Structure 1
Amino acid sequence: MSQFEFTHRRKNPLTGNWVLVSPHRNNRPWLGATEKSTPSNLSEYDKTCPLCPGNQRANDVHNPTYDKTFVFTNDFGALTSQTEVHLAQLETNPLFEIEQATGECRVICFSPKHNKTLPELPVNEIKDVVDTWKQHYIELSGKYACVHIFENKGAVMGCSQPHPHGQVWAHNHLSTEIQLEETSQREYQQHNGSSLLGDYVDHEIANGERVVYQNDHWLVVVPFWAAWPFETLLVSKDDVRHFGQLTDDQSNALAEAIKVLTTRYDNVFNCSFPYSMGWHCAPSDLENDSHWRMHAHFYPPLLRSATVKKHMVGYEMLAESQRDLSPETAAKILQNASDTHYTEGNKHD
Structure 2
Amino acid sequence: MNTNKTVRKTVRHLADGREILYFDDSPHPPPRDAVDERDLPTVAAASEIRRDPLTGEWVAMAAHRQTRTYKPPADLCPLCPTRPGKPSEVPEPDYDVVVFENRFPSFAQAVHGERTTVDGAGIVPLAPGKGRCEVVCFTSDHDRSFARLSPARVRTVVDVWADRTADLSTLDGVEQVFPFENRGEEIGVTLHHPHGQIYAYPFVTPKTELMLRTASAYRAEHGRHVLGDVLAAERRSGSRIVAEGGHWTAFVPPAARWPVQVLVVPHRQVADLTELSAVERDDFADVYLRVLRGCDALYGRPLPYVAGWHQAPVHGDRELSWLHLELFSVLRAKDKLKYLAGSESGMAVWVNDATPEQIAERLRAAAEPLTR
TM-score by length of 2: 0.75
Which 5+ residue runs of structure 2 have no aligned equivalent? 1-72
Which structure 2 residues correspond to residues 182-331 of structure 1 after superposition, within 5 A? 182-286=212-316, 288-305=317-334, 307-319=335-347, 320-331=349-360
* Preserved contact between residue 271 and residue 323 of structure 2 (Cα < 8 Å): yes
Residue 236 of structure 1 and its aligned partner are, at CA, apart by 1.1
- 2:147 matches 1:119: yes
Within-5 A mapping of 1:21-60 = 46-54=74-82
* Rounded Cα–Cα distance in structure 1 between residues aligned with 2:117 and 2:142: 47
Determine the C-alpha separation between the residues in 2 that align with 1:103 and 1:340.
Answer: 44
The amino acid of 2:168's aligned partner reads L
Query: Could you report, residue by residue, the CA deviation over 1:267-323 in whole angstroms, capped at 9, with x for unpaired residues?
Result: 00111111011101111211x522211011111111121x21111132211231111
Change (3 A) 1:338 1:124: same
Counterpart Cα distance in 1 of 2:150 and 2:83 = 25
**Higher RCO (C-alpha under 8 Å, 6+ residues apart):** 1
User: Equivalents in 2 of 1:189, 1:132: separation in Å?
Assistant: 32
Describe how 1:142-221 pairs up with structure 2 within 5 A: 142-143=170-171, 144-221=174-251
* Matches of 1:339 and 1:257, distance apart in 2: 14
Contact kept in structure 2, 1:212 and 1:335, CA below 8 Å = yes
Report the CA distance shift for 1:99/1:250 in structure 2 as closer, same or farther (over 3 A): same
Supply the AA of the counterpart residue of 1:223: P
Q: Secondary structure at the match of 1:322?
A: coil
Runs of 4+ in 1 over 6 A off after TM superposition: 56-60
Q: After superposition, what is the alpha-carbon deviation per residue over 1:210-243, rounded to whole angstroms, capped at 9, x for unaligned?
A: 1111111111110011110111111111121201
Residue number in structure 2 paired with 1:137? 165
Say if 1:216 and 1:253, in contact at 8 Å, map to a contact too: yes
Work out the CA distance in 1 between the residues paired with 2:85 and 2:120: 41
Equivalent of residue 156 in structure 2, options 128, 148, 164:
128
Shift of 1:97: 3.2
Who is 1:73 aligned against? 101
Deviation at 1:120, TM superposition (A): 1.1
Residue type of the alignment partner of 1:70: V
- Equivalents in 2 of 1:171, 1:265: separation in Å? 29
Q: Deviations over 1:117-140 (max 9, x none)?
A: 011111111111111111111111
Residue identity matched to 2:307: M
For the aligned residue pairs, the C-alpha RMSD in angstroms reads 2.3
- Number of residue pairs matched? 297
Alpha-carbon distance in structure 1 between the residues aligned to 2:286 and 2:85: 32
Counting aligned pairs with the same residue, the percent is 25
Structure 1 CA distance for aligned equivalents of residues 87 and 132 of structure 2? 17
Larger relative strand fraction: 2
Query: 1:92 offset after TM fit, Å?
Result: 4.5
Report the residue type matching 2:331 in the other structure: L
